Amino acid sequence: MIEEKRIVLRNADLIDPEKIEDYLLAGGYQGLEKARSMSSPDLIAEIKKSNLRGRGGAAFNCGLKWSFAPADAPVSYVVCNFDEGEPGTYKDRIIVQKDPQSLLEGMAICGHAVNSKQGYIYCRGEYPYVVDLLNRAIDQARGKGVLGDFDIEVRMGGGAYVCGEETALIESIEGHRGEPRIKPPFPGVAGLWAQPTVVNNVETFTNLPSIVLNGAEWFAAIGAPNYPGTKVLTLTGDVTNRVSIEVPTTATLREVIYDFGGGIKEGKKFKAVQVGGTSGGFIPESLLDTPIDFDSMRGIGATLGTGAVFVMDETRDIVDITTRIAKFFEHESCGKCNPCREGTFRAYEIMKKINQGQASVQDIENLTILSQVMEKACLCGLGQAAPSPILTTLKHFYPEYQARLQLN
Amino acid sequence: MITLTINGKEVQTPKGSTILEACQQAGIPIPTLCYDPDLRLAGSCRMCLVEIKGRPLYAASCVAPAENGIVVETESPGIVAARKVILELLSARHNFNCQVCEKNGNCKLQDYCYQYGVKESRFNYGEPTNYPINDPNPFFERDYNKCIMCTRCVRACEDISIVRAISVENRGHHAKISTAFDGNLTDSPCVFCGQCVMVCPTGALTSKVSAGLGRSYEVDKVLTTCSYCGTGCTLELNVKDDRVVGVTSNRTDTGSPVNKGALCVKGRFGWDFINSPERLTTPLIKENGEFRKASWDEALDLVAKRLGEIKTEFGADSMAVFTSARVTNEENYIAQKFTRAVLGTNNVDHCARL
Ligand SMILES: Cc1cc2nc3c(=O)[nH]c(=O)nc-3n(C[C@H](O)[C@H](O)[C@H](O)COP(=O)(O)O)c2cc1C
Ligand code: SF4
Ligand code: SF4
Ligand code: SF4
Ligand code: SF4
Ligand code: FES
C-alpha cells in the first residue's frame, strides 16, 4: 500500500493557519530567504530542473513558464489562480485554509524569480470566508515584513467557471467580461494590464517553498519522473471516505480509490471514475491500474486535471450523469466562440433527448461529430474539454446509451 | 521573411504576419466571419480554421502567427468538416428568409452555406431562436434572429465610433448583442452612425431607410462626397433605375481616403430627401407675396442685379455672407471668395463659429 506524502500539506493540522508565528516556527519563509539569496536566472533554472508542472490542469513546466517573462520589464505581475471552479474540486481551498502563508511564500518566490513586486490572488467567489482568512494572513505577513517589497492583493471572482481560464481571469481582474483572450500573446509576455504576468495555481505555488529549500533533485526524485512530486486529490461520489489526500504521482487510481477512499460505499461495485473535474474523461474498471500522473492519464484518454476523483458505483446512470455534465457546460460557456457557444447548447439538447429515451442512432452520430469538432475547434480549454465526458462515455459505456435508444 | 508551406506550396510572408495574411498574399481563399481588417481581432467565429501539421488543435488563421517551417492545410477533410459543423450550428439559430432579407446576395453566411453545401443543419435540437424585433429607431433594424455573434458591431462601435453603445449580454448560447440593460438604441449613447451596420456580415443589422428599395446586386454604386458637411466623407450612392435607394460605405484607402468608410447618421441614413416631393428643384422668385418658379438664369440675374444695387447705394460693407457647415469645404471656399472678391467685403462668417 502506498503512503501519503505531504509537501503542500506539510503543515496541515500541525499549525494554526491564523498564526504566522506557527508557520515561521515550522520553517516558514526559509525557502523565500534562500530564493532571495539566488539570482533570478538561477532560481528559474532550479525550478525548471525540478520539473514542477502546473497543478491547475495543463501541467506546463513551471520554471519554463517563468522564463518567458522578460527579465527587464519595469512592471510585471504574479497571479495566483484560486478560482477553483471545477466541480468536485476543493483542494486549493483545503491547502489555503490549512496553510495560507505557504501560498504567500510561494508567490513571493515567484515574484523574486520574475522580478515582480505585485501579486494578485483571484479567489473563487463562493469562498468569501477564505478571502477573509487570506487577508488576515497577508496583513500578518506585511506586519512581520517577511514579504519584503512584494505585496499581494486578493480579488474575488463572480462565479463564472470560465474565469479559471487564465486569460479570462486576467480580463476579470481588469474589470471586463470574463472571456478568454486569443493567444499569442501569452500572459507571460502581455497579461494583466498588458504587462508580463505569471499565472499559476495555488498548489503549484505552495510546492515552491519546499522545492527551493530542499533542492530540485529532491523534488524530481519524488513520484513519476515526467510529473514529479505529489498531487492533492479530492475524493467525491460513491467512495467510502470522501477525503482529500496528497500522494506521490506514482499512485494508481485503484490505490487512490481503494486504499485511501476505502473502496465503494455500502459494498457496491465500482462502475466508473471521472478524474480531473467535470471536463475529465470517464474511466472504466479495466483502466484503474493507471498511475495518476499527467502523462499516464493522457495515455488512456483521460486527464489528471485538478485532481478531482469522482467515483460512481454500479447503480449510477452514466447517461443521466453525462446529461447533467452537458448542462453544466451549456451554462458555463462564455459564448465567445461559435463551436462552444452553440455546441454546448446543442450537445445538451441531444443528451437530454437521449436521456429521455427519444433519440436515434443518428442523434448519437450527430453528437459524436459535434464533439469531435469542438475538441479541435474551440477557442479555449472549456470548449475543447467539454466533449470529453461525452466521448469517453460513448466509448466505454456505449451499452448504456444503446439501451436508451428508440428501437425504430 | 517567414517561409511556410500552405497546401503543399512554399509561401513567403513578412515576419509578424498571420497565417490568414500569408494565405491572402498567396491567393489562397479562407472563409472568415468575425475577421475585419479595420477592427481589433476576435478570433472567435472559428470559420478561418486551418490545420497545422503536428498540432492537435486547429488554428484560427486570422490570429495565428505565420511561423517558419509550419505546414498548413486550409481545406483538409477535417477542416471542411469543422467548417460545416460551425455553419450548421449557426444555421440552427438562424432565421433564414433570404427571399425577403435585405442582405440577400451580400451575406457571408449565405455565401459560405452555399460554398460548403450546408443545406440544412444536423443540429436543430431544442427551441429555435426567437428574439423580438422591436427597436423603434428610424434608421436600422436589429434582428438578432439573424445574428451570428461575430461581435463585429461591438468592435466597430468601440474602435471606430468610440461610442460603446452595445456589448454582449448573457453567456453561452444565450449571449446576445445588447445595449446596457437590453433597451432601445434611442435610450443608449448610440449616435446612429451605422458603423455596426457597415460591418455586419449578415442581415442582423440592416438599413430601414433603404428597406425594400433594391437588392445589393441590382444597384450601381456611385462614389461621391457627402454633401452634408465639410469633412468630405466619401460614400457610395446605391442607384437603381436612376433613383438613389441607399448609401453604403467604400472602405478602401484609395476610394475613401478621408473616412475609410465611417460615416455619420446624416451621410448614411439621411439621403431620402433626394427623392422627396417637397424638395426644391428649381429656383423660386417671390412676387406679390407669392413664390413662382423661375429658371436659374432669371434667378441669378435678379440676385446679381439686386446685390449690385445694394452695393452702389449702401456700400459693400452693408452686406454680409454667412456660410454653413452643411456644405463642403470647396463650397465654403467659393463663398468667401465671392464675398471678398465679388461683393468686396470681409463680412463673412460661418455657423461653426457660433
Ligand atoms: C475553463 C477553464 C477553467 C480553468 N479553471 C482553473 C482553475 O479553477 N484553477 C486553476 O488553477 N486553473 C484553471 N484553469 C487552468 C488555467 O488556465 C491555467 O492553465 C493555470 O492557472 C496555470 O497554472 P499552473 O501552470 O500552475 O497549473 C482553467 C482552464 C480552463 C480552460
Ligand atoms: S471555448 Fe467556450 S468558454 Fe472558451 S472562448 Fe469559446 S465559448 Fe468561451
Ligand atoms: S442574413 Fe443572410 S442567410 Fe440570413 S436570411 Fe439574410 S441573406 Fe439569408
Ligand atoms: S449606430 Fe454607431 S453608435 Fe450606434 S450602435 Fe452602431 S456603431 Fe454604435
Ligand atoms: S449584429 Fe451583425 S455584426 Fe453584430 S454580432 Fe450579430 S452578426 Fe455580427
Ligand atoms: S475569422 Fe478567424 S476566427 Fe473568425
Q: Tell me the CA distances in angstroms from A20 to A23, A28, B27, one per residue in order.
A: 5, 8, 65
What's the CATH code of the domain at B254?
2.20.25.90
- Chain centroid to Cα B174, Å, comes to 27
**B97 in the same domain as B35:** no
Under 8 Å CB pairs connecting chains A and B tally to 108
- Chain centroid to Cα A273, Å, comes to 17
Residue B84 lies in a domain: no
Please give the distance, rounded to the nearest whole angstrom, from the Cα atom of residue B261 to the centre of ligand 6: 22
Report which protein residue has its CA nearest ligand 3's atom 1: B203
d(C-alpha A281, C-alpha A294), whole Å: 13
Q: What is the dihedral of CA B35, B38, B41, B42, to 10 degrees?
A: -60
Q: Are A1 and A255 in contact (CB under 8 A)?
A: yes
Q: Is the whole-model pTM more than 0.90?
A: yes
A47 within ligand 1 shell (Cβ under 6 A): no
Q: Is the peptide bond before A185 cis (omega within 30 degrees of 0)?
A: yes
Task: Please identify, by atom number, the ligand 6 atom nearest to the C-alpha of residue B32.
Answer: 1
**B173 in the same domain as B145:** yes
**B167 in the same domain as B117:** yes
Give CA angle at A323 (A321, A325), nearest 5°.
Answer: 70
Task: Render B25-58 in DSSP notation, one character per residue.
Answer: HTT-----SS--TTS-----S-TTEEEETT-SS-
Ligand 2 contacts (CB < 6 A) are A 162, 180, 333-337, 340-341, 378-380, 382-383
- CATH 3.40.1190.20 applies to domain A229-313: no
**B69 in the same domain as B97:** no
- Cell for A240? 467510502
A212 within ligand 1 shell (Cβ under 6 A): no
Q: Do B175 and A337 touch (CB under 8 A)?
A: no
Q: Tell me the CA distances in angstroms from A105 to A5, A59, A210, one per residue in order.
A: 21, 21, 10
pLDDT 10s digits, A298-322: 999 999 999 999 999 999 999 999 9
Which residue among B63, B92, B173 sits closest to A182, beta carbon to beta carbon? B63
Can you give the pLDDT at residue A31? 98
Indicate the helix (H) or strand (E) that contains B187.
Answer: none
Instruction: List all residues of chain B from 145 to 164 with a beta carbon under 8 Å from chain A.
Output: 148-149
Give the mutation candidate from B32, B44, B112, B152 for the A interface (greatest A CB count, under 10 A).
Answer: B44
Indicate the helix (H) or strand (E) that contains A176.
Answer: none
Ordered per-residue pLDDT tens for chain B, 354 residues: 999 999 999 999 999 999 999 999 999 999 999 999 999 999 999 999 999 999 999 999 999 999 999 999 999 999 999 999 999 999 999 999 999 999 999 999 999 999 999 999 999 999 999 999 989 999 999 999 999 999 999 999 999 999 999 999 999 999 999 999 999 999 999 999 999 999 999 999 999 999 999 999 999 999 999 988 888 899 999 999 999 999 999 999 999 999 999 999 999 999 999 989 998 999 999 999 999 999 999 999 999 999 999 999 999 999 999 998 888 888 999 999 999 999 999 999 998 776
**B203 in the same domain as B103:** yes
Q: Does A184 touch chain B (CB under 8 A)?
A: yes
Write the CB contacts of B7 (distance below 8 Å, at least 6 apart in sequence).
B28, B72, B73, B74, B75
CATH of domain A20-221: 3.40.50.11540
- The letter for the amino acid at A367 is L
**What are the helix (H) ranges across A30-175?**
30-36, 40-50, 62-67, 91-98, 100-114, 128-144, 166-173
Could you identify the residue written with the cell 490570429?
B63
**What are the helix (H) ranges across chain B?**
19-25, 77-92, 108-115, 152-159, 195-199, 265-269, 296-314, 329-337
Structural domain count, chain B: 4
- Cell for A27? 520553517
Can you list the residues of chain A whose pLDDT is less than 70?
Answer: 407-408
**B172 in the same domain as B97:** yes
Q: Are A160 and A334 in contact (CB under 8 A)?
A: yes
Which residue among B85, B148, B149 sits closest to A335, beta carbon to beta carbon? B149
Residue B82 lies in a domain: no
Q: Do B92 and A342 touch (CB under 8 A)?
A: yes
Write the CB contacts of B316 (distance below 8 Å, at least 6 apart in sequence).
B343, B344, B345
Can you give the pLDDT at residue A245? 97
Distance from CA of A368 to the nearest CA of B (A): 11
Can you give the pLDDT at residue B354? 67
B45 within ligand 6 shell (Cβ under 6 A): yes
> Checking DSSP bridges between strand A77-82 and strand A118-123, what pairing results, if any?
parallel
Can you give the pLDDT at residue B57? 98
B146 within ligand 3 shell (Cβ under 6 A): yes
Please give the distance, rounded to the nearest whole angstrom, from the Cα atom of residue B45 to the centre of ligand 5: 11
Residue B55 lies in a domain: yes
- Cell for A234? 479530492
Specify the 3-state DSSP secondary structure of B315: coil
pLDDT 10s digits, B199-252: 999 999 999 999 999 999 999 999 999 988 888 899 999 999 999 999 999 999
Q: With CA atoms as reference, report the closest residue to A309 among A323, A297, A324, A295.
A: A297
Return the residue of A nearest to B18 by Cα: A184
**B186 in the same domain as B289:** no
Q: What is the CATH T-level fold of the domain A318-402, as seen in this structure?
A: de novo design (two linked rop proteins) (1.20.1440)
Which sequence spans correspond to the domains of chain A? 20-221, 229-313, 318-402
Please give the distance, rounded to the nearest whole angstrom, from the Cα atom of residue A82 to the centre of ligand 1: 9
Which residue among A184, A336, A377 sits closest to B86, beta carbon to beta carbon? A377
Q: Work out the end-to-end distance of chain A between its first and last CA atoms, rounded to an integer number of angstroms.
A: 51
**What are the helix (H) ranges across A278-317?**
294-299
Q: Which ligand is nearest to the CA of B202?
A: 3
Is the sign of the CA dihedral B251, B256, B261, B266 positive or negative? negative
Ligand 1 pocket test target in A161, A171, A201, A207 with most atoms within 8 Å of CB: A201
Question: Which residues constitute the domain of residue B97?
Answer: 89-207
Write down which residue in B25, B44, B75 finishes a domain: B75
d(C-alpha B156, C-alpha B259), whole Å: 14
- The letter for the amino acid at B313 is E
Q: With CA atoms as reference, report the closest residue to B44 among B32, B56, B57.
A: B32
A56 within ligand 1 shell (Cβ under 6 A): yes
**B169 in the same domain as B69:** no
Write the CB contacts of B41 (distance below 8 Å, at least 6 apart in sequence).
A182, B35, B62, B63
Longest dimension (CA), chain B: 91
Can you give the pLDDT at residue B270? 95
SS3 string of B108-142? HHHHHHHHCCCCCCCCCCCCCCCCCCCCCCCCEEE
Residue B212 lies in a domain: no
Can you give the pLDDT at residue B43? 98
Q: Do A370 and B78 touch (CB under 8 A)?
A: no
Write down which residue in B155, B179, B207 finishes a domain: B207
